Structure 1
Amino acid sequence: MKAIRRFTVRTVLPEPLRQLEELVLNLRWSWHHETLDLFRAVDPALWKAVHHDPVRLLGEVASDRLARLAKDRRFLRRLRDTADDLHEYLTAPRWYQSRAGGPSAIAYFSPEYGITAALPQYSGGLGILAGDHLKTASDLGVPIIAVGLLYRHGYFSQSLSPDGWQLERYPPIDPNGLPLVLLRERDGSPVRVVLDLPKGRGLHAQVWIAQVGRVPQLLLDSDVEENDQSARDVTDRLYGGGGDHRLLQEMLLGIGGVRAIRAYCRITGHPEPEVFHTNEGHAGFLGVERIRELVAEEGLTFDEALEATRAGTVFTTHTPVPAGIDRFPRDLVGRYFDGSAEKVERILALGAEDYPGGDRTVFNMAVMGMRLAQRVNGVSELHGRVSREMFGGLWGGFDTAEVPVGSITNGVHAGTWVAREILELAAREVPSILESGKGWEEVRARPGTELWRIRGVLRRRLVLEARRRLRESWRQRGASEAETSWIDHALDPDVLTIGFARRVPSYKRLTLMTSDPDRLRAILLNEERPVQIVIAGKAHPADEGGKRLIQEIVRFTESEDVRHRIVFLPDYDMALGQFMVQGCDVWMNNPLRPLEACGTSGMKAALNGALNLSIRDGWWDEWYDGQNGWAIPSADGLAAPDRRDELEAAALYELIEDHVSVTFYDRDAAGLPRRWLEMVKHTIATLGPKVLASRMMRDYVEDLYTPAAASERAMVADQFAGARELAAWKRRVRKAWPDVAVEHIESNGAESPQVGAHLSVRVVVDLGGLTPNDVAVEAVYGRVDDSDALIDPAYLQLEEDEPAENGRVRYIGELPLNRSGAFGYSVRVVPGHPMLTGRADMGLVSLPPAPPGMTNGDLR
């Protein structure tokens, strides 16, 4: 008989052990080895049985064991020292406290977070990145408040059917059995966040707090008595449902999340956020809620509130393909917002694809996120370029390079992903890396003997874990003991080990490695230079194509001749990810370029002493230098996908056969692969300071958070005088802009100018009733191609000369001719205001009439 309700009964700890609860409730333990050692000492066998989950450990440890520990002076001394260390970590000044000008607090919104496998609220890279963001903010003292949803079933657990088909299971989650506490009012009653729904319904949510080091993480949970069943189910599953269900999740995250922050700050006295960071479009409605607040509480108009909201908002896009963006029918979104038709239309306009090629019937969450943020970034340099192309329609009239979408390349949290043995080696050999983040170049001078020994330890650990998981999977599929005996010899701790672990959408090409099965067999079974591959990955439950790819790879891995050399491990999660990035010698990644936004698993592997073997996509395109791994040539531009796969698979096989395995097995008299170790040390020395999330977090603070805080302060000062003034100015400029025109252009200079000369340009502009202070008139100049299109142009703001006849204004400037060859120029008029973040901010530009046979696009 199954229980009709599941709940967790918490252990009552003896008084001397009460600090254990404090340690459990702060998720710093997930990346702090000394705290984990303490938990292990509570009951080593039980610690292993509960898969290193401290909450389960304390829930299941025997009372007599607790009684003994409460009298164990050595254990109590360790407990006090660990608790004192946590208190110092939470209170001592850190990097952020040594600088000035940053925001008093930053609100960080994400639909998923990968903090620890014990809190399964993540599905893939977006969540893992968000988790690393919070941990790094804590380590650096950056004052972030995180907001998400608490999914009662989290993401699914994956298993395989007897024929290799992915099966999903959604194990229930009891918040009382997780390291969470409920946010309560001062009188002890639980806080309730309420969203008004159509037909007088309400969506209620309680707020759980997970403490991630110094960072409070607020998780909204709709499974409360005030809701009917459909409302209780809103937070049932991560990315669950569709249509209304998904829209309600995103409204609760964005709108409810802002209200949860207000409650948290009111109750705890935490400073209110000056900056709001939207991690992907799922939380975009937070901007709508902030506009509502300013209209209702400060008396601003919609436009004024919009400017105040945009100034302090950062939007990060992680999606390199339009299909990955949440889009809802416009009429569905409209039904969930009350108010006048004009107000609803203003909200709908935020997510409108009202640009050439857009779908006018949908509401685009990423488009709304960008319209509500003054600062937008992708997550690698290449992804920034892809995003400028994807979203260029929002800034029509500007070249792709000018679209105001920047990039901050992702990083990874070393404390979470780097093996303890590697960290301890660094502490002994190059302590300055851990103490100050400096000294990476010193790695090159260190002997590789100890590094090679540790690599062997980590590889063996991965092999043992892979065997354990394989055996568990085969038994779940109905195999007998006799049928699993081969697993005792699956994989070899001394064989070159390649890792491949991803989500399984088609563009990540899980099965590219099996494009030529016979050639792959020859690589795996090579007698002199054998190779083994460890594979993991989940397909979205609704992705039948992804499931077929998994089934295909599983069937190959179960061939009796190769199953000891290539394995698929189901239920890919953070715990398995840690074993793989630490234990693999090579991290393989072969997406369709440029569809990988960043991809951070290869960064984690590199920090653990592995080399990358990857298509030049995401971060690898940016930081591959020819010595830190191998780049798989990409057949970009081929129209036939099968032919592209064939060419890239052939290149992959050749690299493994002729370069990767040869370098790995080329040993000296001491049995060391000297060339391999030189590549590993070069990788750590050059990539180490780049791939760390501490570098990423400093970039966010200095390039986005601090400027956003300054803009926000300028908007709200003097009772929002800046927001009121900017909104009025934009309204006036937009109204006048159709009449702004470049009427006359002329230039003086030698017919055959030489490098170093200057070209004088004079322009007459009709400002359409605007003043010269409202605009910038610019010359755009540089090299031109065969069609006279400007290539990587430079910009020169022309100076006002004197009023011309009939109210026109004349502008002049001198263009430097600093290079030889084909040269060209054009001019343009753009809005100009000190509170704009750039020329393209408003998406308005006035160009001169195109000469016969040319378009304005050629002139830009």
Structure 2
Amino acid sequence: MNVIGKVTVLPQLPPSIARLSELAYNLYWSWTPHAQMLYQDLDPVIWERFQRNPVRTLLEVSQARLDALAADSGYLARYKAVMADFDAYMGKKATWASRNAAGMAPVAYFSMEYGFHESLPIYSGGLGVLAGDHCKSASDLGLPFTAVGMLFHQGYFRQLFDRDGWQNEAYDEMDLTTLPITPARTASGQEARVAVRIAGRDVSVRVWNLNIGRIRVLLLDTNVPENSEEDRKLTARLYGGNQDLRVQQYVLLGVAGIRALRALDIPASVYHMNEGHAALLGLERVREYVEAGLDFRTALETVASSTLFTTHTPVAAGNDAFTYDLMDRYIGEWPGRLATSRDELYGLARHDQNWDGQTVPAFSMTVFALRMSRAANGVSELHGEVSRDMWKFLYPGAEAEEVPIGHVTNGAHNLTFTSQAMRDLLSTVLPKDWTERLEDEKMWTAVEKLTDQQLSGVQLDMKCEMITFIRARMREQMLRNGASAADVAATDTLMSENALTIGFARRFATYKRATLLFRDRERLSRIVNDPERPVQFVFAGKAHPADNPGKAFIQEIYKMSQEPEFRGKIVILENYDMNVARHLVQGVDIWLNNPRRPLEASGTSGMKASFNGSPNFSVLDGWWREGYDSTNGWPIGEEREYADLNVQDDADAYSLYHTLESEIVPRYYGHATGDASWAHSVRRAIQTVSPRFSMQRQVIDYVQQYYLPIGERGQQVAADDSARARAIAGWKTWVRQQWPHTHLTAHADLPATCNPGQTAPVVAQVNPAGIGLDELRVEAVLNRGGHLTRVPLKNQGDGTFSADVPLKESGLYSVGVRMIPEIGGLSNELEVGLIKWATAR
């Protein structure tokens, strides 16, 4: 038919259940299964057809069904209980933040993607789900917190396998009237609109409001009538298109995001950039200060002092870098707006790249984010180490361990991923308020009270539910691809609830090595087809549309799953999303992860499985390097580096098979009791992973390590019209001008050998070139086996610095002397980025 218009007819909710509409527009329901059941029971078919979306379900369900449930005493009792819990949650005053972070400065959190629920597909994978979980726990903890992101009206892609197992992508236009979002409104009641100038044209941006418990998320949308057709597509797809599109999206996220906060009068004192995509928010914040009368460098210090940057990837491809010519096209007007030069602005982002055999300067979003912040972190302990080494070139003369990049190990939102059945079981032994104390490790020792039978019963129920889900998904895929009647019928017998079931689900980036399991096909066949102790595997995951090697991994697994010896024992599901993830982490017995160490920054899927009692079986990379304690899962491979990737793959595959055959399978199928039992591994997985890797613990770490100190320092630097920022900026300018003219020589009276505890006199002579001697830190640096010890030298006057340096332990030392410029009030001692090492005299 020819459509001339659309109208949404809203349901007439009976008074007794009228607040179902209110609840539908707050994603509190996304981590509350009892709330979801209220909508599912309206019409289970509609609920599933529309990705478990309460708003759409309310729009589609019949009036007769609403009226019937409004008179159903059982339904009404559940409705009242859910609404009472919701009201208690929303109205709670005594939150963690009120008790532990009173007066905390408000945080604005910027992320390119958010994974809150599958019905709002504006995420691609782990980064987005992590951001969504961060928001949920910020709400749980009662933080003053606002998130900013993009409303991609085609979302990420829907993944479809063809008959050969090759990934194809489909993009579905979302009907915004059926999503749990509302137009954000200004104080005057007008729909919030902001404008951004990109490549000489003004782009209008509509702002949407999304409620996540007690906090709000602002979503930016250019698909508005006043924009050109091309500009309306700027917020069409997540991670789609070419580099031109990506740069424009980054301008929108950063610049329009800040303007959206201002248009809505939302306070923000700490700005948290979740990955480099958000780095350009620094442009707009500096512009605000320059427009208010500050010079560029003072504005830069003011902005950076209140900004935190979290980096998520040690893989070069995950750190965007663009040519200067491309950046000129989209931010070429910004140097003038900021009262600075192109060289100075772009110099803050410079990271030379080798493109087509030539080394050229490039604008790195990660480098810009690091330069535009005064605090940065990786997302696990090992990733922090890798990041410090990766970005140490920004601090010439520094050792990797000194680079000011810390770490906060990722977590996951327990209540989003823990099944209701497991939550009910945990509630029988944990305190009544356990969901508010998830990070409390002592509390979780009560899991020891759960019996083997209780645990196995819940896990068997969840496994059966997962297998039912897998069979339905595979049947749907078979029918779409025109499979034979026999093949379609065979989906009814896929997998067995009595077999050890191992899950693997994540992005199909090649470094995650999804096909490592198939390195020795014959050995795998023996493991899978053991008649007494069978093992089965379920895979899921998306490859980026442009990642053909990742797609080839998917196809290899698919084809292997069709081979006679693996048919029904190995399954790969299409269209991995949060719904698939929940079924798998709640239903498998073991979670498998085998990235090429050390390229897994953190990973979180294994955490979610362990919340449900599934031990982790993983390479000691990312979070598992910190989480593994020899009782709560199993490692793959060794903590070592490999020069030959083939050797690494062989070693890790051998370890995988050997551990599976000799430890995991015997324990799962054995009848041991106590510490040797399978139930012991299950308990330990729940007990150790649930608190330490809860999102609640993660967000508390961010508050204590970053949000509170950044808020305090940012306020100090910006006080009195940025007086401190002006002093720091002026001092840095002077020091950088004079630094090439400084000179440092040193002498150490070192014996060839000595006993532990002896000292060695070290003397340095400084020509400060006009820099105050009290503004120079001169120190001896002892390197013993890669571990640094730093000993300050005392100013003796006339440019002479000296100290007796203790040699406390036995070993081979190398000794150097260096000087670093510093004044009080810097964020860290390497902030200026200048280090001069002494020459011998």
TM bucket normalised to smaller: over 0.9
In 2, the alpha carbon distance for the partners of 1:574 and 1:9 equals 29
In 2, the alpha carbon distance for the partners of 1:799 and 1:819 equals 23
| Paired position in structure 1 for 2:727 | 725
In 2, the alpha carbon distance for the partners of 1:812 and 1:502 equals 55
- Using structure 1 for the length normalisation, give the TM-score: 0.92
Q: Residues 224 and 755 of structure 1: is their aligned pair in 2 closer, same or farther, counting only changes over 3 Å?
A: same
Q: Which amino acid aligns with 1:322?
A: A
SS state at 1:510 partner:
coil
| Paired position in structure 1 for 2:268 | 273
In 2, the alpha carbon distance for the partners of 1:159 and 1:239 equals 18
Q: Which moved more, 1:31-40 or 1:321-330?
A: 31-40
Q: Which moved more, 1:342-351 or 1:248-257?
A: 342-351
In 2, the alpha carbon distance for the partners of 1:447 and 1:601 equals 26
**Does the aligned pair in 2 maintain the 1:741–1:847 contact within 8 Å?**
no
Task: Map Cα deviations across residues 219-272 of structure 1 (whole Å, 9 max, x no partner).
Answer: 0000001100010000000011112211111100010000011112x2xxx4x1
Is 2:552 the counterpart of 1:548?
Answer: yes
| Paired position in structure 1 for 2:744 | 742
In 2, the alpha carbon distance for the partners of 1:15 and 1:800 equals 79
In 1, the alpha carbon distance for the partners of 2:283 and 2:726 equals 18
Q: Which moved more, 1:810-819 or 1:435-444?
A: 435-444
Q: Which amino acid aligns with 1:716?
A: A
| Paired position in structure 1 for 2:577 | 573
Cα offset, 1:431, TM superposition: 2.5
Is 2:508 the counterpart of 1:514?
Answer: no
Is 2:315 the counterpart of 1:321?
Answer: yes
Q: Residues 414 and 340 of structure 1: is their aligned pair in 2 closer, same or farther, counting only changes over 3 Å?
A: closer
Alignment of 1:59-458 (within 5 A): 59-71=59-71, 75-76=75-76, 78-93=78-93, 94-100=95-101, 103-199=104-200, 201-264=201-264, 266=265, 270=266, 272-297=267-292, 299-337=293-331, 338=333, 342-353=340-351, 359-431=359-431, 433-434=434-435, 436=437, 437=440, 438-458=442-462
SS state at 1:630 partner:
strand
**Does the aligned pair in 1 maintain the 2:53–2:179 contact within 8 Å?**
no
| Paired position in structure 1 for 2:617 | 613
| Paired position in structure 2 for 1:858 | none
Is 2:486 the counterpart of 1:488?
Answer: no
SS state at 1:387 partner:
helix
**Does the aligned pair in 2 maintain the 1:158–1:168 contact within 8 Å?**
yes
Task: Map Cα deviations across residues 83-142 of structure 1 (whole Å, 9 max, x no partner).
Answer: 343233123221011124663310000000000011111001100100110001110111
**Does the aligned pair in 1 maintain the 2:620–2:639 contact within 8 Å?**
no
| Paired position in structure 2 for 1:844 | 834
Q: Which amino acid aligns with 2:116?
A: I
Cα offset, 1:154, TM superposition: 0.3
Q: Which moved more, 1:645-654 or 1:405-414?
A: 645-654
Q: Which amino acid aligns with 1:253?
A: L
Q: Which amino acid aligns with 1:730?
A: K
Residue among 812, 822, 825 paired with 2:812:
822
Task: Map Cα deviations across residues 766-818 of structure 1 (whole Å, 9 max, x no partner).
Answer: 1111112312111212525xxxxxx21111222222x22xxxx2223232222
In 2, the alpha carbon distance for the partners of 1:673 and 1:442 equals 16
In 2, the alpha carbon distance for the partners of 1:758 and 1:638 equals 39
| Paired position in structure 2 for 1:788 | none
In 1, the alpha carbon distance for the partners of 2:596 and 2:4 equals 47
Cα offset, 1:518, TM superposition: 2.0
**Does the aligned pair in 2 maintain the 1:593–1:634 contact within 8 Å?**
no
How many residues align structurally?
830
Cα offset, 1:638, TM superposition: 4.2
Cα offset, 1:833, TM superposition: 1.6
- Using structure 2 for the length normalisation, give the TM-score: 0.94
SS state at 2:409 partner:
coil
In 1, the alpha carbon distance for the partners of 2:539 and 2:48 equals 24
Q: Which amino acid aligns with 1:280?
A: E
Cα offset, 1:72, TM superposition: 5.2
| Paired position in structure 1 for 2:693 | 691
**Does the aligned pair in 2 maintain the 1:775–1:829 contact within 8 Å?**
yes
Cα offset, 1:716, TM superposition: 1.2
Cα offset, 1:544, TM superposition: 1.4
Cα offset, 1:158, TM superposition: 0.8
In 2, the alpha carbon distance for the partners of 1:754 and 1:674 equals 48
Task: Map Cα deviations across residues 55-86 of structure 1 (whole Å, 9 max, x no partner).
Answer: 12101111122234445566556545533432
Is 2:795 the counterpart of 1:794?
Answer: no
| Paired position in structure 1 for 2:801 | 811
Task: Map Cα deviations across residues 184-213 of structure 1 (whole Å, 9 max, x no partner).
Answer: 2344432111011234x1111101111011
Cα offset, 1:494, TM superposition: 1.0
- Structure 1 residue runs without a partner (length 5+): 785-790, 852-860
In 2, the alpha carbon distance for the partners of 1:728 and 1:183 equals 41
**Does the aligned pair in 2 maintain the 1:315–1:376 contact within 8 Å?**
yes
Q: Which moved more, 1:364-373 or 1:637-646?
A: 637-646
Cα offset, 1:758, TM superposition: 3.1
In 2, the alpha carbon distance for the partners of 1:766 and 1:352 equals 31
In 2, the alpha carbon distance for the partners of 1:490 and 1:20 equals 38
In 2, the alpha carbon distance for the partners of 1:570 and 1:340 equals 46
Cα offset, 1:574, TM superposition: 0.2
Q: Residues 634 and 10 of structure 1: is their aligned pair in 2 closer, same or farther, counting only changes over 3 Å?
A: farther
Q: Which amino acid aligns with 1:294?
A: Y
Q: Which amino acid aligns with 1:783?
A: R
Q: Which moved more, 1:141-150 or 1:648-657?
A: 648-657
Cα offset, 1:499, TM superposition: 0.2
In 2, the alpha carbon distance for the partners of 1:84 and 1:636 equals 53
In 1, the alpha carbon distance for the partners of 2:657 and 2:535 equals 11
Q: Which amino acid aligns with 2:211?
A: Q
Q: Which moved more, 1:380-389 or 1:640-649?
A: 640-649
Q: Residues 122 and 739 of structure 1: is their aligned pair in 2 closer, same or farther, counting only changes over 3 Å?
A: same
SS state at 1:204 partner:
strand
| Paired position in structure 1 for 2:684 | 682
Q: Residues 324 and 435 of structure 1: is their aligned pair in 2 closer, same or farther, counting only changes over 3 Å?
A: closer
| Paired position in structure 1 for 2:782 | 781
Q: Which moved more, 1:527-536 or 1:542-551?
A: 542-551
Q: Which amino acid aligns with 2:308?
A: V
Q: Which amino acid aligns with 1:154?
A: G
Q: Residues 535 and 812 of structure 1: is their aligned pair in 2 closer, same or farther, counting only changes over 3 Å?
A: same
In 1, the alpha carbon distance for the partners of 2:302 and 2:421 equals 49
**Does the aligned pair in 2 maintain the 1:635–1:647 contact within 8 Å?**
no
In 2, the alpha carbon distance for the partners of 1:494 and 1:104 equals 53
In 2, the alpha carbon distance for the partners of 1:126 and 1:8 equals 34
Q: Which amino acid aligns with 1:481?
A: A
SS state at 1:351 partner:
coil
SS state at 1:428 partner:
coil
Cα offset, 1:642, TM superposition: 3.4
In 2, the alpha carbon distance for the partners of 1:81 and 1:498 equals 37
Q: Residues 5 and 507 of structure 1: is their aligned pair in 2 closer, same or farther, counting only changes over 3 Å?
A: farther
| Paired position in structure 2 for 1:854 | none
In 2, the alpha carbon distance for the partners of 1:624 and 1:303 equals 46
In 2, the alpha carbon distance for the partners of 1:204 and 1:45 equals 39
| Paired position in structure 2 for 1:856 | none
